[in-house]
Amino acid sequence: MNDKIKRYLLMLLSAAVGVFIIGYIGYQAYMFKRSPVKTETALEKTVYDTIDTKAFFVRDESYIQTKGKGTVVPLISDGMRVASGDTVAVLFSDDDSARQFNRLKEVESAISYYKSLKNRVGVQTTDLSALDKRIDSSAASYVKALQSGNINSTVKFRDALKEAMTARQLATGGAISVDEKIASLESELASLNNKSGGYTSVTVNNPGYYISTTDGYEETVPYDEATEYTVEQINEVLKASPNNKSVMGKLVDGFNWYILCNIPTNKVTSFKTDSQVKILLPDYTIQQVYARFIKVNDSKDGKTAVVFCGNEMNEVIANLRLEDVQLVVNEYTGFRIDNRAIREVDGEQGVYVLVGNIVRFRKINVIYSSTDYSIVNNIENESGQLRMYDEVITEGTDLFDGKIISR
């Protein structure tokens, strides 16, 4: 009886081992054929090789003086060009009157907006993708404005987002009744007009770009000496404290403005005199400005004083002063590829892509590489190269051109 049990157990054990071996071989064959992969879509991206530094912006600024004190309410945006004698702001004797005036202007704008909406009710469009892109763009700009802390930009992009969302609602036949809202706003406007107090107009005596605020650095660097500043002088400027004055704003009188900064001496040859340089502003919604590289001054302790000159003007540029900037030395545009995907096959550098369920090899030309990724472009008139939206295989084993992947 014991021998029978032993033989029976031995048969069971042999069968179990056989099943395990067959299962293991089958699993390995399945995995060899399947080779699960992970992919990323090939998309175009621009990356920059930059010199990061601290910069001081110098403008030809003059204060706007007027008699009396109180609360100033600007009538135009910063950076706008004005002529001699133009009214740029109004001065109220107290904060309450200024708040009422601001609210009056907001209500007037809102009435105009809702009346324009009323005229568009019933107007439809089939191009919803364009409206969706507009909403996405407006939302992204609004978030950046919030992060920057620029109130004027925040309000502008908030309104743009609201307008884009309303446009889509109208386009899809959404019902919007504005008569009650318009009536309420007109009633508020009448009340505000009855309460509105007097104010003093703030005018300018010469043409220039208007800026409603001052930062206390207007007299830190004399405009006509800006291009001669040394390394030590720029270091002192970057550490300077503001000297605030009670004025009604300021005018930028000259077209040109300057950027003073110290950069590593071994990087000076990255720029040619009078060349146009892209300057990134990581802390702002307007992420870049352009200025000419005009001057190299002294060098000390491995740093060299350099000067850039620009003449573009807008709301952001009008208020730049002590800023973190990135001076673009080179920029690279191409497909962003994970370095794990790059391989060499038969002497050709490239990547494997998934076309349907078939693996294909695509050639690449690396123009920029970092620790994690590379930027690649195509060599003109060569076939078999990586294309936009290819599904690049970043993880996979035993890959070869023509392999079928079961997913």
In terms of phi and psi (left: phi > 0; alpha: psi -120 to 50; beta: otherwise), the region of 385 is beta
What is the percent of the chain where pLDDT is above 70? 80
Q: What's the pLDDT band for 118 if we cut at 50, 70, 90?
A: low
Torsion of CA 118, 120, 124, 129, to 10 degrees: -100
Distances (CA, A) of 111 to 162, 195, 315: 15, 19, 26
Q: What is the pLDDT of residues 321-334, one digit of tens each?
A: 999 999 999 999 99
**What integer pLDDT is reported at residue 361 of this predicted model?**
94
Q: Which residues contact 390 (CB under 8 A, 6 or more apart)?
A: 41, 42, 353, 355, 362
Least confident of 33-47, 122-136, 350-364, 378-392: 122-136
Q: What value does the mean pLDDT of the chain take? A: 83
- Mean pLDDT for the stretch of residues 47-57: 95
Q: What is the pLDDT of residues 205-221, one digit of tens each?
A: 889 999 988 899 999 99
pLDDT at 170 over 70: no
Q: Which two tokens stand for residue 119?
A: 């005229």
**What integer pLDDT is reported at residue 255 of this predicted model?**
85
- What sign for the dihedral angle of Cα 69, 73, 77, 78? positive
**Helices 151-171 + 128-148 axis angle, to 10:** 160
Least confident of 40-44, 174-178, 227-231: 174-178
**What integer pLDDT is reported at residue 311 of this predicted model?**
93
The residue ranking higher by pLDDT, 187 or 168, is 187
| Structural contact between residues 47 and 375, judged by C-beta atoms closer than 8 angstroms | yes
Site of tokens 């740029």: 88
pLDDT at 30 over 60: no
- What sign for the dihedral angle of Cα 333, 334, 336, 338? negative
On the CB side of 336, how many CA atoms lie within 13 Å of its CA?
A: 12
Calpha distance 287→282 (Å, rounded) = 6
- Mean pLDDT for the stretch of residues 63-79: 82
**What integer pLDDT is reported at residue 15 of this predicted model?**
65
Calpha distance 34→313 (Å, rounded) = 59
pLDDT at 401 over 60: yes
Q: What is the pLDDT of residues 233-270, one digit of tens each?
A: 999 999 999 988 888 889 998 889 999 999 999 999 99
